[in-house]
């Protein structure tokens, strides 16, 4: 089967299809040029979030059947990477754990994606993005001083601390394999990734530099790093941390800095934020956008998802592809010598089943028998 043209061209990834960060990691690897073969359950539902199933070859296999598991093992023998996102122990019970797969293919990079990790008191427990945020300390640091903690979608733990970490680990293991000739297991856990991402905040807390939520530099406590509501109900986002940007921000607002007190005086922050909010509320989001256009004040409008894809900067960067009927971001980062291919739409479940089975050497009669017995679909 054809591979992509990116830096991972020639790498084959077998994905035991799941939900959330593991498929996201596979999307990233596929965007980088790897050929991804997704092993899907014949009866598994698909959800809107499965938009990141793009660029894959889909084979529908019943893993409850011994013949189905044998087919997956045969696929892994020809693969560079296998990725699974089951709870700890599930892959082993299916006979598809790392010990068996690496015995069949010692060069295999076996990627595992979990929330809590493969060990520890919580390793077998259920969880979602919000739970990992909560236990890591990240959720307690997000939100206003008083009021509910609003989870930042499932971008942080699932995709940032999970899927991206797994993709990085797999890429690193592939690089190491060039020297050792051996594969290995990559254990990526969302709780681990979150702890890594929180490193600077743990350091600040240990030094007494992090106060209660909603009163700090980056959590909305600072009047120059937060959002403000505009007259028609829209919002603008302000990130004027550096003094020169803060000066420009106040200049456009028509505020004398002496009215607000020193920029870094935390005691003055609440009153300064209130005064700025009063002024921002006198104009619409679009009016403020025009006033700050071309001004180095780190001020941008807060756009809805449907607006963002039409913003001139994202259009100029070519960040949206029309390869499907669903808005899709173009692959990133960008490479000068091995440009990334435009991913194709997600295949229908099992669309590549016959092609992949034929590649394994099965005859038409054998494939028909597997269909009749419910091993493949």
Q: Tell me which residues are annotated as active site.
A: 128, 158
Strands 320-321 and 328-329 come out as antiparallel
The Cα–Cα gap between 200 and 181 comes to 36
The Cα–Cα gap between 113 and 192 comes to 11
Strands 299-301 and 235-239 come out as antiparallel
**Order of all β-strands in the sheet with 235-239:** 225-229, 235-239, 299-301
SS (H, E, C) the chain: CCCCCCCCCCCEEEEECCCCHHHHHHHHHHHCCCEEEEEECCCCCCCHHHHHHCCEEEEEECCCCHHHHHHHHHHHHCCCEEEECCCCCHHHHCCCCHHHHHHHCCCCEEEEEECCCCCCCCCCCCCCHHHHHHHHCCHHHCCCCCCCCCCCCCHHHHHHHHHHHHHHHHHHHHHHHHHHCCCEEEEEEHHHHHHHHCHHHHHHHHCCCCCCCCCCCCCCCCCCEEEEECCCCCEEEEECCCHHHHHHHHHHHCCCHHHCCCCCCHHHHHHHHHHHHHHHCCCCHHHHHHHHCCCCCCEEECCCHHHHCCCHHHHHCCCEECCCCCCEECCCCCCCCCCCCCCCCCCCCCCCHHHHHHHCCCCHHHHHHHHHCCCEC
User: Nearest Cα to 22, choosing from 43, 52, 1, 46?
Assistant: 52
Supply 301's token pair.
């409008």
The contacts of residue 243 (CB under 8 Å, 6+ apart) are: 263
């Amino acid at each position: 089967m054809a591979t992509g043209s990116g830096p991972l061209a020639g790498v084959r990834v077998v994905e035991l299809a799941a939900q959330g960060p593991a498929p996201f990691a596979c999307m990233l690897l596929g965007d980088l040029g790897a050929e991804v073969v997704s092993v899907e359950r014949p009866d598994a539902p698909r959800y809107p979030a499965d938009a990141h199933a793009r660029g894959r070859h889909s084979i529908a296999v019943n893993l409850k059947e011994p013949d189905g598991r044998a087919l997956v093992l045969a696929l892994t023998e020809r693969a560079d990477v296998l990725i699974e996102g089951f709870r700890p122990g599930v892959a082993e019970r299916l006979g598809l754990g790392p010990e068996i797969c690496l015995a069949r293919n010692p060069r295999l990079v076996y990627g595992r994606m979990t929330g809590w990790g493969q060990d520890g008191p919580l390793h077998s427990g259920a969880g979602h993005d919000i739970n990992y945020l909560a236990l890591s300390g990240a959720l307690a640091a997000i939100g206003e001083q008083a009021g509910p903690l609003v989870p930042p979608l499932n971008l942080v733990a699932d995709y940032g601390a999970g899927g991206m970490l797994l993709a990085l680990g797999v890429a690193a293991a592939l690089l190491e394999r060039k020297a050792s000739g051996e594969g290995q297991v990559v254990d990526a856990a969302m709780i681990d990734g979150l702890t890594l991402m929180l490193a600077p905040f743990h350091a600040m807390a240990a030094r007494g530099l992090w106060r209660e939520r909603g009163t700090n530099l980056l959590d909305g406590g600072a009047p120059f790093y937060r959002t403000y509501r505009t007259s028609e109900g829209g919002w603008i986002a302000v990130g004027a941390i550096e003094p020169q940007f803060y000066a420009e921000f106040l200049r456009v607002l028509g505020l004398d800095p002496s009215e607000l007190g020193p920029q870094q005086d935390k005691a003055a922050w609440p009153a300064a934020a209130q005064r700025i909010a009063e002024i921002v509320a006198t104009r619409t989001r679009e009016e403020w956008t025009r006033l700050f256009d071309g001004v180095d004040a780190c001020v941008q409008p807060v756009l809805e998802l449907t607006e963002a894809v039409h913003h001139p900067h994202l259009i100029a960067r070519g960040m949206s592809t029309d390869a499907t009927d669903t808005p899709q971001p173009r692959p990133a980062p960008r490479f000068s010598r091995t440009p990334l291919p435009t991913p194709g739409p997600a295949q229908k479940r099992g669309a590549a089943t016959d092609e992949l089975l034929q590649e394994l050497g099965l005859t038409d009669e054998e494939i028909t028998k597997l269909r009749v017995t419910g091993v493949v679909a």
